[in-house]
Amino acid sequence: MSSMRSFEKIKAVTFEKMLSFEKARRLVEEHAERVSPPEVETIDLLAALGRVLAEDILADRDFPPFPRATRDGYAVRSADLTKVPARLEVIAEIKAGETPEQSAVVVGHGQAASIMTGAPLPAGADAVVMVEYTSPTDHAVEVQRGVSAGENFVPRGAEALAGRLLLNSGQRLDHAGIAIAASVGKSHVKVFRKPRVAVLSTGDELVGIDATPGPVQIRNSNSYSLAAQIQNAGGEAVILPVAPDERGRLRPLIEEGLQFDLLLLAGGVSMGKYDLVEQVLAELQAEFYFTGAEIQPGRPAVFGSCAARYFFGLPGNPVSTMVTFELFARPMIEALAGMASRPLIFLRARLKSEIRTKTGLKRFLPATLSGEFENAEVELMPWQGSGDISALARANCYIVIPPERERIEVGEWVPLLLR
Ligand code: AMP
Ligand code: MG
């Protein structure tokens, strides 16, 4: 313990920049705001899921382009239905895809046109009465319910007028964004090139995942979880060879990692004698924005820049690595990917089992969100601490515990970070 203290002291003198979670996060966001946009490429819309738009997408015409019926029924003049039941003469049938010219229909007083969902409302009509409230007779229809003008159709241009912005450059394409691009006829879209993110795991105990580990060796899982998280955040991961806890071998790998758009290091940032990451980065004239955040797991997380590249030193305990990636590295990768910034927001659910913890750190603890429909409830996953990936893999979220809370009662609304 006394030797640990002396290391802590050295570290405090050399690097110590411990921030609250919020300050650390905002600092990353501020730096992320300043990164320059990546290069642009044009790709097939079918390959664009998860890519970040590098162009604005505008409405190429009015949406909808004609007053569009939203129900199957009868196009009517609402004034004809002030008294119901009413009998109207049926003068036409209008299908989706039929132009008003083709059908040449004008609905006059006392008249109606049978109309299908998606078909253009004919001239003269100002509403659609649902088929459920009608009974057809020969060339006529009896309507049991009145409608207000404007009911059951969308006026031309009501969703978007031609030229209106539908999707912003910087927006990540999901299925809805892809639907928009398709609907304005963009079979190819301009997207930002993915940033290349180097992953450098450190530790003498680590072996490759194909190796048979010795009794005290550990397979390198962090490089793989990080690669997955990087892809998920819109980047491309490049896994570098594992660095041993040796200055001379760590340094060239860090230098190699600094050639990429971003460098993520895992391990070697705690207080131990062989935690050399910060020392080597300091030798390389790195600037440190923080060297710790008041969180658990992940307290020793480091953020800085070196040779015009940002880096994160994430603690090596696998759960800490994953949590600190989500909290700090993700917004930087998203910015490097050209994504518009977005705030981190915690949702809330009711606590299912009481929580007792210690004060002082903001905690992000693996938890299970269960229940159904409006009745979500959440409880902590029993775990063995930040090395326990098997607990994490069974969890589906983190409960966020504020640093001042010692005890949280069943039924309280607690904040969550989904994963
Ligand atoms: P460190 O942050 O280097 O002190 O490592 C903390 C703990 O995480 C130790 O138990 C390491 O064995 C473990 N660890 C570090 N790096 C990795 C990795 N790449 N994969 C799996 N476990 C790791
Ligand atoms: Mg280590």
Q: Which ligand is nearest to the CA of 220?
A: 1
Nearest alpha carbon to residue 111 among 75, 69, 149: 75
- Residue range 15-72, pLDDT digits in tens: 589 999 999 999 999 999 999 989 999 999 999 999 999 999 999 999 999 999 999 9
Mean pLDDT within 212-238: 98
Mean pLDDT within 69-98: 96
What's the pLDDT band for 4 if we cut at 50, 70, 90?
very low
The closest-lying atom of ligand 1 relative to the alpha carbon of residue 242 is 19
Q: To test the ligand 1 pocket, which listed residue (199, 200, 206) has its Cβ within 8 A of the most ligand atoms?
A: 206
CA of 323 to the centre of ligand 1 (A): 14
Mean pLDDT within 235-262: 98
Q: What is the pLDDT of residue 12?
A: 45
Cis peptide bond N-terminal to 252, omega within 30: no
Confidence check: pLDDT of 14 > 60: no
For ligand 1, atom 3: residue with the closest CA: 267
CA of 253 to the centre of ligand 2 (A): 15
Q: Which amino acid, 151? A: E
State whether the beta carbon of 106 lies less than 6 angstroms from ligand 1.
Answer: no
- Residue range 116-148, pLDDT digits in tens: 999 999 999 999 999 999 999 999 999 999 999
CA of 93 to the centre of ligand 2 (A): 75
- Residue range 318-344, pLDDT digits in tens: 999 999 999 999 999 999 999 999 999
CA of 128 to the centre of ligand 1 (A): 66
Q: What is the pLDDT of residue 139?
A: 93
Confidence check: pLDDT of 165 > 80: yes
Confidence check: pLDDT of 6 > 50: no
For ligand 1, atom 7: residue with the closest CA: 317
Q: What is the pLDDT of residue 11?
A: 46
What's the pLDDT band for 274 if we cut at 50, 70, 90?
confident
In angstroms, the CA 40 to CA 193 distance is 6
Confidence check: pLDDT of 77 > 60: yes
Q: What is the pLDDT of residue 98?
A: 85
Q: Indicate the pairing of strand 375-380 with strand 362-372.
A: antiparallel
Q: Which ligand is nearest to the CA of 318?
A: 1
Q: What is the pLDDT of residue 15?
A: 56
Mean pLDDT within 271-291: 94
State whether the beta carbon of 217 lies less than 6 angstroms from ligand 1.
Answer: no
Q: What is the pLDDT of residue 104?
A: 79
- Residue range 209-223, pLDDT digits in tens: 999 999 999 999 999
In angstroms, the CA 14 to CA 279 distance is 9
In angstroms, the CA 138 to CA 88 distance is 11
Nearest alpha carbon to residue 265 among 243, 233, 234, 290: 243
For ligand 1, atom 13: residue with the closest CA: 317
Q: What is the pLDDT of residue 8?
A: 47
Confidence check: pLDDT of 162 > 80: yes
Structure token digits, residue 85: 């039941």
State whether the beta carbon of 199 lies less than 6 angstroms from ligand 1.
Answer: no
CA of 148 to the centre of ligand 2 (A): 71
What's the pLDDT band for 3 if we cut at 50, 70, 90?
very low
Q: Which ligand is nearest to the CA of 321?
A: 1
CA of 207 to the centre of ligand 1 (A): 11
Mean pLDDT within 2-27: 68
In angstroms, the CA 394 to CA 381 distance is 8
State whether the beta carbon of 266 lies less than 6 angstroms from ligand 1.
Answer: yes
CA of 267 to the centre of ligand 1 (A): 5
Confidence check: pLDDT of 80 > 60: yes
For ligand 1, atom 16: residue with the closest CA: 316
State whether the beta carbon of 386 lies less than 6 angstroms from ligand 1.
Answer: no
Strand partners, 415: 348
- Phi/psi of residue 35, nearest 5 degrees: -70, 145
State whether the beta carbon of 103 lies less than 6 angstroms from ligand 1.
Answer: no
Q: What is the pLDDT of residue 287?
A: 96
CA of 218 to the centre of ligand 2 (A): 11
Q: Which ligand is nearest to the CA of 315?
A: 1
CA of 380 to the centre of ligand 2 (A): 27
Over the chain, what is the mean pLDDT?
A: 95
Q: What is the pLDDT of residue 100?
A: 66
- Phi/psi of residue 176, nearest 5 degrees: -70, -40
13 versus 237: which is more confidently predicted? 237
What percent of the chain has a predicted confidence (pLDDT) above 70?
95
Mean pLDDT within 396-409: 97
Q: To test the ligand 1 pocket, which listed residue (201, 205, 218, 245) has its Cβ within 8 A of the most ligand atoms?
A: 218
In angstroms, the CA 413 to CA 349 distance is 5
In angstroms, the CA 126 to CA 176 distance is 30
State whether the beta carbon of 201 lies less than 6 angstroms from ligand 1.
Answer: yes
CA of 268 to the centre of ligand 1 (A): 8
Q: What is the pLDDT of residue 295?
A: 98
Q: Which ligand is nearest to the CA of 387?
A: 1
Nearest alpha carbon to residue 82 among 29, 158, 152, 143: 143
Q: What letter does residue 53 receive in the DSSP assignment?
A: B
For ligand 1, atom 23: residue with the closest CA: 316
- Residue range 169-209, pLDDT digits in tens: 999 999 999 999 999 999 999 999 999 999 999 999 999 99
State whether the beta carbon of 222 lies less than 6 angstroms from ligand 1.
Answer: yes
The overall pTM is greater than 0.75: yes
